[in-house]
A and B are shown apart, each in its own frame.
Chain A
Amino acid sequence: MTKVTMTVNGKSVSADSEARTLLSEFLREGLRLTGTHVGCDTSQCGACVVHVDGLAVKSCTVLAQDVAGAEVRTIEGMANADGSLGVIQQAFQDHHGLQCGFCTPGMVMTAASLLKDNPKPTEHEVREYLEGNICRCTGYHNIVKAIMAASGQDVSAIAAE
């Protein structure tokens, strides 16, 4: 066991970590930040996406010890300072971009990363960017719509409903 320290959602935190502890485990079990979900064991589903030093990564593919000292942001750090939903989160609620909510943290983190790289993505670009995130509930329609709305685009013309 080694004590690993990093900055998570703006706060310096530390917890014990084995050499094999994944960042997803470190967040969920070490820090009890359970908003980051684990949906697979082959790095395919994207439920575990967080930001490490500003980049979206699948936290199930990263060893906690390898990101010691990094700036990590999780879904728990995405709301506005006053606790209200951030722009992307609000768009997901407004456009019904989630159902069971399990894929949602990863979707929001991925969407944030997309909009940072590409502030006005086309529908096609959104779909391509979500390649690593699986949602079984929504059929993606409303996720895509929510992300485009969050980018400030008018989504009222996107296929009926």
Chain B
Amino acid sequence: MSILVYIRNVGGQLKKQSLELSAYAKAMADALNLDVTGLVIGTMADGELKKLGNYGMSRVLKVDDEQYNQRVNRVYTRIVEQAVNKTDAKYILFPDNAQGKAIAPRLSVRLRAGFIPQVLDLPSSFEPFTVKKRAFTGKAIATVTAHTERVILTPMLNSFGLPENAQDLEIQSFEPHIEEPDSRLELVGKQLSEEGVQLADADIVVSGGRGMRSSENFAMLEELAATLGAATACSRPVADDGWRPADEHVGQTGKIIAPNIYFAIGISGAIQHVAGVSGAKCIVGINSDPEAPIFEVADYGLVGDAFQIVPELNEVFRKHMHEKK
């Protein structure tokens, strides 16, 4: 028996969330006396995979076949299913993001395994399997049990941390048997987005609201983001007005993210906005209005004019990053 971790493959690169998942799985595995096995689909160099060994993973199954570089949810689901059978996995972990959400529910149906997304903590019991998850867009925490033989989880980022735990990592090739590779889905076009930090994976996010007044003013947020190696984001009206691309909009009807630091600049902190960032470790509010609701959810606050504070902040961070190096 084992715990299987689905490892997201982004153009041959690992994401930090996979390390976090591995550490999470290892904590469960220790309580149950199991091993942690990873599964990666598509090409990824062994050197990259080795990093997983630092966070408690002892085996990786790699499906190193170019025909699978293109994600087809239906096919991926079947590959994971075969890996589950091979490793006799009782628990299967996916990242809590679009990719995890695309495959895990399908797998849940095939295995008739309870599916628990947005998990906030380690399980509080294994018999029956019980864990806490986010509910009502962060306004409540639900305790959920699954009585099924297998359970599929998507732990939220930052819900656990990243304790190191070095293991000897064994990398094995795994050949799934996909009878009818799904020809129903055909890729007809692709546009790569510009280089830059992806919002969903970013450790630090610099986000601007209507307080930034115009799309031109976002240049100073982009500069700050570049200094910090951060991604940029925005509130909904900003995306609606076309100041920023729609996929940068964070909140209840946009992306749900959980960075380490979230800078909310000129964002009032409406409940629908906060629903998208309540998982952040630390929220910094920068707003000219000392009564802005963002300060009710922020960890740190600066009151003042963003147009003055942001360039200053950029300078101070630049110095700080420089000294750290």
B is bound to A: no
- B interface residues (Cβ-Cβ under 8 A, vs A): none
- A interface residues (Cβ-Cβ under 8 A, vs B): none
